[in-house]
Chain A
Amino acid sequence: MEHIRTPKVEQVRLMDRFSNKSTNGTLYLTATHLIFVESSINSSTAAQEIWILHHHIASVEKLSLTTTGCPLVLQCRNFRVVRFVLPKERDCHDIYSSLLRLLRPVSYEELYAFSYNPQQNDQQREEGWQLIDLRAEYERMGVPCDQWQLTDVNRDFKVCETYPRDLYVPITASKPIIVGSSKFRSKGRFPVLTYFYQERKAAVCRCSQPLSGFSARCLEDESMLQAISKANHNSRFVYVMDTRPKLNALANRAAGKGYENEDNYSNIRFQFVGIENIHVMRSSLQKLLEVIGTRSPTMSDYLVGLESCGWLRHIKAVLDAAVFLAQAVTLEGASVLVHCSDGWDRTAQVCALGSLLMDPYYRTIKGFMVLIEKDWISFGHKFADRCDQLDGDPKEVSPIFTQFLECVWQLSEQFPQAFEFSEWFLLQIHEHVHSCQYGNFLGNNERQREELQLKERTHSLWASLLGEKHNYLNPFYNPAYNVEHPVLEPSTLPYHFKFWRNMYHQFDRSMHPRQSILKTILTLKDKSAKAESTLQALENRLCQLGVTPVVTSDPAAPPPSRDQRSNPKALPPRPNSLILGAPVNHKEEQRRVEEQDDEVGEEALENTDTERTVEGSSGTESRKQSYDELEGTYNELAKEEPAVVSLEFGVARMTC
């Protein structure tokens, strides 16, 4: 608390990002959060609250004083951008300097995870950490088996300190081979198994680049690849995927690193994939955020900006690589070795996405957690550096994991029935990768996590997510689809790559769609469940009264009614709101003109009143003059969920 000089500022205005609207309220600064509470317009409506975790703030900027006050702009890692205007410059400066200190913790102990207490006892906490068991996961894949074994060579992190303790290697790879190979690989990250495709006995292995320079060889490393190749009887060769662009790999050669020479390794097929490095990705996302932050871009600005920032092109490159991997394994039955430079960024992306394409298990909620735990956390994706958890080198920060989540989202758009989870699950994971509220993503590798004693001192995100699993279910999920299509074959044509509005505009209410099919389906499911329980209750009551209900339990199911027009009851119920996750607020039903969104209760449907309702923003100048009078309406409607934790807006509150 010693950094907080001004804990409370009144009369603060929160400016809307894409319009001229604003909300008045009070700003509170606590040890963990910056909180904005809207001053209630009337006592009957709950006030809007925005909670911003300090760890989420990527940057804070104080702009020069204007006639209305002193603006303070916060950019968050979850892509929230808020702009406050504080009446006094001194308050603004106090908040600004406090935040500057608070958002750059210097030691792990300062992170929220160490103080977060969700009121669980130690046993629950322990159970939470035991939810994901990677040994069980390898067993599920079918290893150890006659060709692959668990090795204890890295039991004390001696061979490779960024790898986990448990590693799976071919039976024929002896310890000297492993140790020799690790010496020839950058950061000691030698080839190990990450996914085993049981059907064809093909393996996906990962490692870092070889220290080959222009001509160096390593017999142990060559035997290691030979061993991987021999473990698979389906194919005479192993694919070696270098996920870097060829130019980068060539440049690395000059530094004594490089790539495998096909002449030295027997039975390999070498392939460059061309995913750009972390620096390119970082600046690409930066450009994307600039493009989408423009207030009213012309069509040209937007399209050209979207293309020139390259973000979607990079997403496509990553997915292309994953598709290549999945096809090599499933169609050709060949084993694949994937690496980039250090084997913890692009390699993690490609291995994880490739496995996701091949194995329906990873497309379930639990399976996706396992996948992240395996390919990202245990294999040492440097979350601390990439997500800037401690005040570190800005050049190490890069949205590699975000990119992975986006790839998964793009896939879920192409295969809506294949994923058990909805996009809110991905968004929630993204939220917590940056929130430092749970221990899972802290630190850079398993060794560091053990030193921090995270399992004893923090909680696991997975337990919390599983606890509210129902919030993350994808209503379109159809397990039968995955049985029919165990391997996904996405198209990577450019128009399949869409801008992920709910990620990058998650907190920009005006950017949300007017109506959502997801919402309709969820409402419908909800209502069906309720009807079912009513039915049950009625039946029970009849039973109690000694009446046997007419046998209706299993009528010969007619096909779903074709002619809906003749059957108005077959119309889906109207969702409580057209906006994703917006709260039901019956007070707003009477509003004649709803500027940004609408809340329509059931009554509107059932009554035959002729009240007209306006949906959507006219977006025209002609309405400008009416903004002022509508401001009150808008502010109220723009409210984030006050009482109930809704999915997308609950995020901020769940981090409290």
Chain B
Amino acid sequence: MDKQIGAGAGAADGAGPNRKPRAQGTGSSSNGDGLDSPTGSHVEWCKQLIAATLSSQMTHSAPADPNRENRVSKRLPYRNLPALRYGAQLKMSQNEVPLLPGENVHITVKDVMYICPFSGLVNGTLTITDYKLYFIGVEQESPFILDVNLGAISRLETISVPNQGENTKGLELVCKDMRSPRFAYKTEENHPDVVKVLSQHTYPLTHSMPLFAFLYKEQFPVDGWKVYDATAEYKRQGLPNESWTISKINSSYELCDTYPSVLVIPTNISDEDIRRVAVFRAKHRIPVLSWIHPETQATIVRCSQPLVGPSDRRCKEDERFLQIIMDANAQSHKLTVFDARQSSVADTNKAKDGGYESESFYTNVDLNFLEIPNIHVMRESLRKVKDVVYPTIDEAHWHSAIDQTHWLEYIKLLLAGAVKVADKLESGKTSVVVHCSDGWDRTSQLTSLAMLMLDSHYRTIQGFQVLVEKEWISFGHKFSSRVGHGEDNHSSSERSPLFVQFMDCVWQMTRQFPAAFEFNELFLITVLDHLYSCLFGTFLYNSEQERTAQEVQTKTISLWSYINSQPEDFTNPFFVDYEHHVLYPLVSSRHLELWTAYYARWNPRMRPQVPVHQTLKELLFVRAELQRRLEELQKEAAAHSLSSSSEHSPSHTGTPLHSAV
């Protein structure tokens, strides 16, 4: 997405201020419905959408501009480019494709038609690099630009294009990010096949080539790999303490190959016992601490399902392990196990050698099923969401179409589950164990959401990065399998948008608590875009072990480098640190809505919301100015040995304006 801003900005820059002549010609004075004007590309829309979200770019105090079209194009280069100072694409001249450091053009094809679902065919040039597909319309004045990074492409599909001559082929790029652009191109004998080149670079792993993240050569002033240090994070939580220790038992990934090297486990348990527990838990994912309550010492513990099997196997060490976890929290004599699965599915798993903790074997354990369906159901649900929002929206049946996808229903289940977990800790002062089957999908969703509710640190930009690094990346959510980075296996049943779903839940929370999160919507969308892009190493591979083996940290760049080099663009101006506040979102149907700014952003009729952030920014500026003058005057007053009896002394609060209340 950010890439596209860069690209679009570059293009606008070259075209100068007199763009979009056609839209003016029709008398449509607005940047109106894209479907009316053939040049109203949805890329333009998306750029505006993001520009709108990027509150810092928008100025409304600009004097009245009689020509609104010009303003849009002016705004993009002059406001956007300096904004995203880092990671923007470079472009030498007007007709060149903007490139990232390390990016190379592989094929350029002229006379390609983009089949716009709204305005018909657009003739232009298609360029394929090792990172993206770039289409630019032939129109000189305001070229249509479509920029799709190859990582976002799920599958390439041949489509029929009637009435375009015999040697014309059609191609549809079905994307992971909810769009499907279509092209028509002419095949000629002596030309290399576009689809072949495209497929090669879209699926580098399938063709034994490196992912683009390993070729990317950008320099960022901040090193995002330093954001997460497991030991430092546990130290922040007050660990180790008398009950919990930071263990090196998995330092070479021998105990569990999908767990991180640093684990927090109870102090008084022997390595021998731990190994027995590991054998009793699916994929050896033993119960380990994720978060500890700063006051009650109640903990969130995560693991995989116990291998109980149809014969009700028991493991004394595992039972004792849970007992120790319970005992570590003196406030409660109970332990609550949240099994994220549907109880019927858990039973099925039991028959297949999996299972769940029996309350009769594990004393003082409460077992709750959260009834959340599995990854396959979620995949199907999001696929339906795509059908609802792209490329056309059925106006008469919008709500029922949303209902049919069940997406919001699952968001509701997930949020409600996380609230239960958080509430158990906060109000019930009871430690909880969360697991699903393998403990890397729904478990990650639940623990990270609960932690977001409980701990204000995770609601800051850096804290959120730590949360993702910790609960998702280090604990082995299988990003590579779930997303399918660089692999031609679009039909794989391993794929599922679990992380997207998590981010949606975060967005729902930011809607309900607009001042509690340091990051803005652009941050969430950017993270999701780079979940697919393969530009950064952050989300590559399935586990910490694989990442270490591939030397991801030395050979690729972290997404957080990019974000933390320019945090102002991802900052929510309304943020007030609600430290020590536990936030429970309302999970009733009335309070959840579809995240159209993300899911429907490629719909050409999507219109950016007029930003209100600017109002706040101006107010903050005025306030800072007032404050500065106030302090100066007070200094002066003090210098003239006037007793600063005024109660507006800034020293004790740092914000004298508060005391005016």
Question: Cβ of B657: which chain A residues have Cβ within 8 Å of it?
Answer: 527-528, 530-531, 573
CB distance from B295 to the nearest CB of A (A): 7
> Could you tell me if A495 and B612 are in contact, using CB atoms closer than 8 angstroms?
no
- Which residue from B585, B619, B633 sits with its C-beta under 8 Å from A616? B585
Question: Cβ of B395: which chain A residues have Cβ within 8 Å of it?
Answer: 316, 493-494
> Could you tell me if B623 and A531 are in contact, using CB atoms closer than 8 angstroms?
yes
User: Known contacts being A299-B408, A527-B660, is A622 close to B428, with CB within 8 Å?
Assistant: yes
Question: Cβ of A301: which chain B residues have Cβ within 8 Å of it?
Answer: 589
Question: Cβ of A534: which chain B residues have Cβ within 8 Å of it?
Answer: 630, 646, 648, 660
> Could you tell me if A478 and B584 are in contact, using CB atoms closer than 8 angstroms?
no
**Residue of A whose beta carbon sits closest to that of B430:** A622
Residue B634, interface by CB 8 Å: yes
Residue A542, interface by CB 8 Å: yes
Query: Complex Cα distance A525/B660, Å?
Result: 13
Query: Total interface residues on B, using CB and 8 Å?
Result: 107
**Residue of A whose beta carbon sits closest to that of B633:** A538
> Could you tell me if B660 and A617 are in contact, using CB atoms closer than 8 angstroms?
no
* Closest CB pairs A-B (n = 6): A307-B399, A616-B584, A494-B398, A302-B589, A303-B403, A560-B621
> Could you tell me if B577 and A571 are in contact, using CB atoms closer than 8 angstroms?
yes
Residue B32, interface by CB 8 Å: yes
Residue B491, interface by CB 8 Å: no
- Which residue from A547, A600, A616 sits with its C-beta under 8 Å from B586? A616
Interface window among B158-166, B323-331, B419-427: B419-427
Query: Complex Cα distance A346/B617, Å?
Result: 41
A-B pair count, CB < 8 Å, reads 299
Residue A61, interface by CB 8 Å: no
> Could you tell me if B513 and A573 are in contact, using CB atoms closer than 8 angstroms?
no
> Could you tell me if A569 and B409 are in contact, using CB atoms closer than 8 angstroms?
no
**A binding-site residues for B, Cβ under 8 Å:** 292, 296-304, 306-308, 312-313, 316, 331, 414-417, 475-476, 478, 480-481, 483-485, 487, 489, 491, 493-496, 498-499, 501, 511, 513-517, 520-521, 524-525, 527-528, 530-532, 534-535, 538-539, 541-542, 545, 547, 549-550, 552, 555, 557, 560-565, 567-576, 578, 593, 600, 602, 605-606, 609-620, 622-623, 626
Query: Complex Cα distance A606/B659, Å?
Result: 10
- Which residue from A304, A483, A610 sits with its C-beta under 8 Å from B399? A304
Query: Complex Cα distance A530/B646, Å?
Result: 14
> Could you tell me if B590 and A501 are in contact, using CB atoms closer than 8 angstroms?
yes
User: Known contacts being A416-B610, A606-B653, is A616 close to B576, with CB within 8 Å?
Assistant: no
> Could you tell me if B610 and A611 are in contact, using CB atoms closer than 8 angstroms?
no
Residue B248, interface by CB 8 Å: no
Question: Cβ of B295: which chain A residues have Cβ within 8 Å of it?
Answer: 610, 612
Query: Complex Cα distance A562/B62, Å?
Result: 18
Question: Cβ of A415: which chain B residues have Cβ within 8 Å of it?
Answer: 610
> Could you tell me if A569 and B583 are in contact, using CB atoms closer than 8 angstroms?
no
User: Known contacts being A521-B619, A622-B428, is A303 close to B514, with CB within 8 Å?
Assistant: no
> Could you tell me if B427 and A565 are in contact, using CB atoms closer than 8 angstroms?
no
CB distance from A308 to the nearest CB of B (A): 8
Query: Complex Cα distance A514/B515, Å?
Result: 10
- Which residue from B399, B577, B582, B637 sits with its C-beta under 8 Å from A306? B399
**Residue of B whose beta carbon sits closest to that of A618:** B423
Query: Complex Cα distance A495/B422, Å?
Result: 32
Question: Cβ of A613: which chain B residues have Cβ within 8 Å of it?
Answer: 578, 580-582
> Could you tell me if B655 and A569 are in contact, using CB atoms closer than 8 angstroms?
yes
Instruction: Specify which of B68, B577, B633 lies most central, judged by the most chain A CB atoms within 10 Å of its CB.
Output: B633
Question: Cβ of A303: which chain B residues have Cβ within 8 Å of it?
Answer: 399-400, 402-403, 408, 589
Question: Cβ of A564: which chain B residues have Cβ within 8 Å of it?
Answer: 568, 571, 573, 575
Interface window among B147-155, B253-261, B592-600: B592-600
> Could you tell me if A299 and B412 are in contact, using CB atoms closer than 8 angstroms?
yes
Instruction: Specify which of A302, A491, A612 lies most central, judged by the most chain B CB atoms within 10 Å of its CB.
Output: A612
User: Known contacts being A296-B588, A618-B427, is A491 close to B607, with CB within 8 Å?
Assistant: yes
Question: Cβ of B409: which chain A residues have Cβ within 8 Å of it?
Answer: 298-300
Residue B27, interface by CB 8 Å: yes
Query: Complex Cα distance A481/B600, Å?
Result: 26
Question: Cβ of B427: which chain A residues have Cβ within 8 Å of it?
Answer: 593, 614, 618, 622-623, 626
Question: Cβ of A531: which chain B residues have Cβ within 8 Å of it?
Answer: 623, 626-627, 630, 656-657, 660
- Which residue from B33, B621, B636 sits with its C-beta under 8 Å from A542? B636
Query: Complex Cα distance A528/B628, Å?
Result: 12
Residue B242, interface by CB 8 Å: no
